[in-house]
Structure 1
Amino acid sequence: MSPTEKPSLNLLQRLWLSEAIRLREEQAGPLEDGEANRRARAAGGNLAARIQARALLLAERDGLLLALRHWQQGARLALATLLLLALLSGGGLAVAALGDGQRPVNVFWALGSLLGLDLLLLLGWGLGLLLGGDNASALGRLWLWLSDKLARDARSAQLAPALLLLLQRARLGRWGLGVLVHGLWLLALLAALLSLLALLATRRYGFIWESTILGGDTFIALTQALGALPGLLGFALPDAELIRASGAGALTSEAARHGWAAWLLGVLLVYGLLPRLLLMLLCLWRWRRGGARLVLDTRLPGYDLLRERLLPGSERLGVCDAAPAATTQEPAAAGPQGSEGALLVAVELDERRLWPPSLPAGVGDAGVIDSREQRQRLLEQLSRFPPARLLVACDPRRSPDRGSLALLGELARSAGATRIWLLPAPPGEALDAARLADWHDALALLQLPHGDAAPLTWLETGHD
């Protein structure tokens, strides 16, 4: 994403970042958020909208937005890994169920191999749903763990917990992970069905049933009960005589082979694939329906503390916010679109210096910024009426401390284009070469154009 490109996030991603910022501040203390709060207030909206705007600004500044993209890439890689494992597992189930064709296939052992684990886990998921649980299944936890490992970004530590908390609070976790779990099982069972078809089409299998304590009537009733629903879909059902005869040994007739093969495929389709497909569609429907109604719970303590800073009782100039912790390594981003006009402002000038200079017509003078209140007042004004061109005059006899450079970065982000005017020394004085070099280095890191000559022509016309 280029520096001038604004990130496009959906509702879930915006709330996700807000929750991650909240968890980070709970664990490590409040962040320096003066500029983020000011810009969020200028964006307007209710408290939830301002919290989201603040979270996005802090995430851009601190690299959390990039960490989110890395986490999502890791999540996609983890999903691809699980999909591949599901395909291989489904093929393995089919091979384990039928064997190599050298010995007869026990139909109920084969059915247990294909559907036993699936039905047990499906029963556990249903019980958890009935009991109101919203915990991640083993597959869901595996996916989250793989996503964290594949993201390879230390800044993403709060992302997975924030996502789980957000979804659990909205009771969406079970449906989101349900789509994942049922989708993976559906893929595995589909791979098993296709593998069964391939094996049955290329090998000759004989089918039997065996029991020491159960009689033939029991197997006849069980086989016909399981085959009733597949029979409604057109799958063949072995008759009672064929079922009874298969208890003595594998029948060699083609009709017997076809009947048992169709029964096995039908039972796998009806009791394996169809339930998973229907449940996946149900979870997907609930996920989309709930996702459209996601809201930020502003009653949480971490958000409630932001109420006075983001939605003060009276919107007055000079509201005191924490000073932003800017760093000379952070470039100043491009300014807002739709700005107009030109403005000159000076930062911490010596009282003996004559100010302002003679300005061209149409260029405004914002005076000299010396105090924190003046700085906040100017920034609030620029957030409402950003100039197209901003010239900032600085005295290079002062050291380029972090606070001054942070102010320059904020001013640059509040104007369409910004230049820094490093004022010459007063008559009879000379600039310190080392300190001037420090200014040049700091402004170069901020990517702000600068010079020692007054660019008044540029300020008036927009070109030199």
Structure 2
Amino acid sequence: MSPLENPTRNRLQRLWLCEALRLREEHAGPLEDGEANRQAQRAASGLPERIEARALWLANRDGQLQAQQHWLQGARMALGLLVLLAVLSGAGLALSALGDGQRPINVFWAVGSLLGLHLLLLCAWLLNLLLTGKQPGVLGRLWLWLSEKLARDARAAQLAPALLLLLQRQGLSRWLLGLLVHGLWLVALLSALLLTLALLATRRYGFVWETTLLGSDTFVSLTHALGAIPALLGFTVPSADIIRASGDAALPIEAARHAWAGWLLGVLLVFGILPRLLLALFCLWRWQAGQRRLVLDLSLPGYSLLRERLQPSSERLGVCDAAPAQLHQPQAGNHTEGSQGALLVAVELDPLRSWPPVLPKGIGDAGVIDSREQRKQLLDQLNRFPPARLLIACDPRRSPDRGSLALLGELARSAAATRIWLLPPPPGEALDSARLGDWHRALEQLQLSYSDSAPLNWLEHGHD
């Protein structure tokens, strides 16, 4: 299967791969991308689409696609751990606020225990959003760190920085991490609400307020102010008489306990859960809207250098690329769209050998490939006019090195069907059996058919 025929990633994942490869090439130098550029030129017409196609091809070859999937799996596992932590934290808030029921609950201490940290961090998030909006925050950094650790793939090291750079350039990181933060707080507060309901339903609590400096009117006003919005939603609010009476001791009256419990639940819902829910929905809306505007910054040096290679103003021969940072295993394949005709080509033959043989009418001769320039010219021609049948002649007296095998695989991917012709030795010479065995193993690994006799009938008619 061609790298460009892999299951299509969504647009964010494709742009993410482009950014990760850009960082990798800036750090380790340019990659060997001759075939990737040709495949990208064949697959798309615009420069951004060609950059995406090139990145997808190289990522498939070098394992970045698999590393991205490992990182995403690690991100899901990290999110699951954070959700579990949020559930436990919410339960801890409820237990610390209500206690075991042996002592009366100070209602304002209970509100502070349930909502104090939430409101403090909510104000900090809003302040960060207004001032910079680009810092990931504690939960965001923890999630990214856990995602990378759980990925367990060294090739995923540049994925997290690439994702942050891509999103920050479009101002989207604040909304993604904001969705994460508000979602986790929403889970924690819902957990606190559910456990609070369970405790209030199974234990008998008394409610009091205590003060040394303030008067009862102050607590009456504060209680009514906090309960105004919950009252609109149907939650009970203690009357002024109940509030004043609760300043001395917990009232044994059932109505008083119900009023204070309803007030506490309403305050938790209105000032804790609803703000986090609304902010999470707002961040989700901004995130989804921003994804549609997400594009590559083609002014960056890494992408500017690709412009001439992917959209050349003129065709040039003999382009020399830097050595690849990591060798890859050659692969064969086929190209079936628009292929027609038959072609014979030889690779690195002895100049003393008589070539080409007598060919039937209608079979093209591509000559002998000896240089980088000839290789590029032939591959460019096959990219435009792929043959239905391609016969590649090789001299088995030479060793099947990595460069030769890579060329065979690349040629095979440019034709609908390919066979290898292992030429017989000149008269008076014999083939090295060990070297011939190396050729057989290498071609079998490439899944290419081979023979030691000329399959000219197959080349002419498509069968033997």
CA distance in 1, matches of 2:210, 2:360: 102
Q: CA deviation at 1:95?
A: 1.5
Counterpart residue number, 2:397? 397
Bigger Cα displacement from structure 2, 28-37 vs 257-266 = 28-37
Partners of 2:4 and 2:53 within 8 A in 1? no
Q: State the Cα distance separating 1:405 from its structure 2 match.
A: 1.7
Q: How many angstroms apart in 2 are the aligned matches of 1:152 and 1:439?
A: 37
Letter aligned with residue 193 of structure 1: L
The sequence identity of aligned pairs, in percent, is: 71
Cα distance in 1 between the residues matched to 2:180 and 2:286: 13
Could you say which residue in structure 2 is the equivalent of 1:194?
A: 194
Q: Deviation of residue 361 (structure 1)?
A: 5.2
Residue-by-residue CA offset, 1:363-394 (whole Å, 9 max, x unaligned): 43322222222111111122222233322111
Match of 1:178 in 2: 178
- 8 Å contact 1:4–1:334 — kept in the other structure? no
Provide the TM-score with structure 1 as the length reference. Answer: 0.94
Q: Is the 8 A contact 2:236 2:263 kept in 1?
A: yes
Give yes or no for contact 2:332–2:413 (8 Å, CA) kept in 1.
Answer: yes
Q: Does 1:312 align with 2:317?
A: no
CA contact (8 A) 1:328 1:446 kept: no
Q: Which amino acid aligns with 1:57?
A: W
Partner of 1:20: 20
- Deviation of 1:266 after TM superposition, in Å, equals 0.5
For residue 360 of structure 1, report the CA deviation from its aligned partner.
4.7
User: Are the counterparts in 2 of residues 44 and 50 from structure 1 also a CA contact under 8 Å?
Assistant: yes
- Aligned pairs for 1:82-93 (under 5 A) are 82-93=82-93
Once residues 22 and 129 of structure 2 are traced to their aligned partners in structure 1, the CA distance between those partners, rounded to angstroms, is 29
CA offset at residue 41 of structure 1? 2.4
- 3-state SS of paired residue (1:183): helix
* 1:334 has 2:333 as partner: yes
How far apart are residue 234 of structure 1 and its match?
A: 0.9
Q: Any idea what the Cα deviations from partners look like across 1:96-128, whole Å, max 9, x if unmatched?
A: 111111111111111111111111111011001
1:6-17 paired onto structure 2 within 5 Å: 6-17=6-17
- Residues 191, 357 of structure 1: CA spacing in aligned structure 2 closer, same or farther, 3 A cutoff? same
Aligned residue pairs, count = 463
1:463 Cα shift?
4.5
**Post-superposition offset of 1:93:** 1.3
Q: Please give the alpha-carbon distance, in whole angstroms, between the structure 1 residues aligned to 2:188 and 2:388.
A: 59
Check whether the contact 1:336–1:415 (CA below 8 A) recurs between aligned residues: yes
In the alignment, which residue of structure 2 is the partner of 1:273? Answer: 273
1:338 Cα deviation from its structure 2 partner = 1.8
Q: In structure 2, what is the Cα distance between the partners aligned to 1:251 and 1:358?
A: 111
| 1:441 matched residue in structure 2 | 441
The structural deviation recorded for 1:130 is 0.9
Cα distance in 1 for residues equivalent to 2:160 and 2:400: 39
The AA in structure 1 aligned to 2:331 is A
The structure-2 alpha-carbon separation of the partners of 1:265 and 1:188, relative to structure 1 and needing over 3 Å to count, comes to same
Q: Deviation digits for residues 330-371 of structure 1, max 9, x if unmatched?
A: 141432342422332211222333333344555433222222
| SS of residue matched to 2:12 | helix
Q: Match of 1:322?
A: 321
Contact 1:335/1:413 (8 A) holds in 2: yes
State the AA in 2 paired with 1:111: V
Go from structure 1 to structure 2 and tell me whether the alpha carbon gap of 1:335 and 1:45 turns closer, same or farther (over 3 Å shift): same
| Aligned-partner Cα distance in 2 for 1:390–1:66 | 32
Answer whether contact 1:389 1:417 (CA < 8 A) is retained.
yes
Q: Show structure 1 runs of 4+ deviating over 6 A.
A: 1-4, 326-329
Instruction: Report the alpha carbon displacement of residue 206 of structure 1 after superposing the two structures with TM.
Output: 0.8
Structure-1 separation of matches of 2:101 and 2:375: 83
The 8 Å contact of residues 309 and 321 in structure 1, kept in 2 or not, is answered as: no
Give how far 1:210 is off. 1.1
Aligned counterparts of 1:333 and 1:243: Cα–Cα separation in 2: 82
Range with bigger deviation, 39-48 or 406-415: 39-48
CA distance in 1, matches of 2:267, 2:102: 24
Which amino acid is 2:420 matched to? I
| CA distance in 2: counterparts of 1:391 and 1:276, whole angstroms | 66
Partner of 1:107: 107
Relative distance call for 1:407 and 1:331 in structure 2 (3 A) is closer
| Superposed CA offset, 1:162-182 (max 9, x none) | 000101011100001111111
Residues 70-89 of structure 1 mapped to structure 2, 5 A cutoff? 70-89=70-89
Question: What is the rounded CA distance, in whole Å, between the counterparts of 2:54 and 2:295 in structure 1?
Answer: 16
| 1:154 Cα offset (Å) | 0.4
Q: Which ranges of structure 2 fall in alignment gaps of 5 or more residues?
A: none
CA distance in 1, matches of 2:328, 2:171: 42
Return the alpha-carbon distance in structure 2 between the equivalents of residues 60 and 324 of structure 1: 19
- Contact 1:394 1:421 (8 Å CA) reproduced: yes
- Structure 1 regions of 5+ residues with no counterpart? none
What is the CA–CA distance in structure 2 between the aligned matches of 1:95 and 1:21, rounded to whole Å?
49
Deviation at 1:198, TM superposition (A): 1.2
**Distance apart, 1:37 and its partner CA:** 1.8
Q: Within 1, Cα distance between the matches of 2:2 and 2:356?
A: 37
On the 8 A contact 2:330/2:406 being kept in 1, the answer is no
Is 2:388 aligned against 1:388? yes
**Secondary structure of 1:306 counterpart:** helix
**Change beyond 3 A, Cα 1:321–1:42:** farther
**Aligned twin of 1:258:** 258
Q: CA deviation at 1:5?
A: 5.1
5 Å-filtered alignment, 1:39-438, equals: 39-314=39-314, 316=315, 318=317, 320-322=319-321, 330-341=329-340, 342-360=342-360, 362-438=362-438
Instruction: Give the drift of 1:85.
Output: 1.3
Distance in 2 (alpha carbons) for counterparts of 1:105 and 1:301: 63
State which drifts further: 396-405 or 180-189: 396-405
**Equivalent-residue separation in structure 2 for 1:418 and 1:159 (angstroms):** 38
Counterpart residue type for residue 334 of structure 1: G
Q: Deviations over 1:290-317 (max 9, x none)?
A: 1011110010111112221122112x26
